[in-house]
């Protein structure tokens, strides 16, 4: 089974198992979340009533294409469930997200959900975080100063570019991609990064993931519940 098949399998499984009639669902961003949205579109065609809150402008566009009614995050007290992908996730259910540039909105929506489900192909499961560069969203004003402060934590930093221009998030900010040799203490790093002036948020999702739906070595669906 290739990665594309795995993404489709875990995305569809998440929608089938965790999305129920009448729910308001946090809609993730990225290639695996695409299959969740696609499946939800099929469910709506079959008669389900579902609403969605998108984590990015790209997801908004995709959701509309599949007939999902969108609501503003400010109009709901909480979401029934949020389903999103991850760039890495370890055995403690700590994850790195933000490869698609939507980490701040993804974290706001995950925080608002009763249940946060991560869907990931087998390649995303790691022993320890850090192989994937950690995205950090920073304000444009003084971004070089902020990048220098982040670099003092022992990582190599690189400003994210798109089409030869600094990448701008949906929130009007920049992203610094940070390559650490390894991340031994994700909780401490999360707190340290967010205390740097100019940092808006970072891509470490600590104690947020409730369910991980992935594919095991036998290419079978694995549904794991976080123990807190």
CB atoms within 10 A of CB 175: 27
Q: Are residues 72 and 162 in the same domain?
A: no
Beta carbons within 8 Å of 95's beta carbon, 6+ residues apart: 86, 87, 88, 89, 118, 129, 204, 205, 208, 209
Q: Which of 208, 177, 12, 219 is nearest to 92 (CA)?
A: 208
Q: Are residues 142 and 81 in the same domain?
A: no
Q: Give yes or no: residues 69 and 152 share one domain.
A: no
| Same-domain check for residues 178 and 120 | no
Residues 138, 120 share a domain:
no
Q: Are residues 62 and 75 both part of a single domain?
A: yes
Give the phi and the psi of residue 78 in degrees, each rounded to 5: -155, 160
Indicate whether 114 and 213 sit together in one domain.
yes
Structural domain boundaries, residue 78: 3-125+206-225
Q: How many domains does the chain have?
A: 2
Closest residue by Cα to residue 98 from 63, 66, 129 = 129
Q: Are residues 9 and 110 in the same domain?
A: yes
Model pLDDT for residues 127-139, shown as the tens digit of each residue: 999 999 999 999 9
Q: 145 and 103, same structural domain? A: no
Please list the active-site residues.
Answer: 106
- Could you tell me if 48 and 156 lie in one domain? no
Rounded CA gap, 125 and 1, in Å? 16
Segments of the chain with pLDDT less than 70 = 1
What's the CATH code of the domain at 162?
3.30.70.260
**Same-domain check for residues 189 and 85:** no
Same domain assignment for residues 110 and 42:
yes
Helix axes 57-65, 33-45, angle to 10 degrees: 30
Residues 6+ apart with CB under 8 A from 220: none
Given this model, what pLDDT does residue 228 score? 72
CATH number at residue 20: 3.40.50.1360
What the block records as the tokens of 208 is 């947020």
Specify the long-range contacts of residues 66-72, CB closer than 8 Å, at least 24 apart. Answer: 66/37, 66/38, 66/40, 66/41, 67/41, 68/27, 68/37, 68/40, 68/41, 68/44, 71/24
């Amino acid at each position: 089974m290739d990665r594309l098949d795995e993404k489709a399998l875990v995305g569809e499984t998440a929608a089938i198992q965790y999305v129920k009639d009448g729910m308001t669902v946090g809609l993730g961003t990225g290639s695996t979340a695409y299959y969740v949205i696609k499946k939800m579109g099929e469910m709506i065609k079959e008669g389900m009533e579902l609403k969605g809150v998108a984590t990015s402008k790209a997801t908004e566009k995709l959701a509309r294409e599949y007939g999902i009614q969108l609501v503003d995050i400010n109009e709901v007290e909480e979401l029934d469930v949020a389903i999103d992908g991850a760039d890495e996730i370890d055995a403690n259910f700590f994850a790195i997200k933000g490869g698609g540039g939507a980490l701040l909105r993804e974290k706001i929506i995950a925080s608002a959900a009763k249940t946060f489900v991560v869907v990931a192909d087998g390649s995303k499961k790691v022993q320890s975080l850090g192989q994937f560069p950690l995205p950090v969203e920073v304000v444009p004003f003084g971004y070089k100063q902020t990048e220098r402060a982040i670099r003092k934590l022992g990582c190599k930093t690189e400003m994210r570019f798109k089409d030869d221009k600094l990448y701008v998030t949906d929130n009007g900010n920049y992203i610094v991609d940070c390559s650490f040799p390894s991340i031994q203490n994700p909780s401490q790093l999360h707190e340290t990064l967010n205390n740097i002036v100019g940092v808006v948020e970072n891509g470490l999702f600590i104690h947020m993931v409730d369910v991980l739906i992935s594919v095991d070595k036998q290419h079978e669906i694995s549904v794991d519940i976080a123990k807190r």
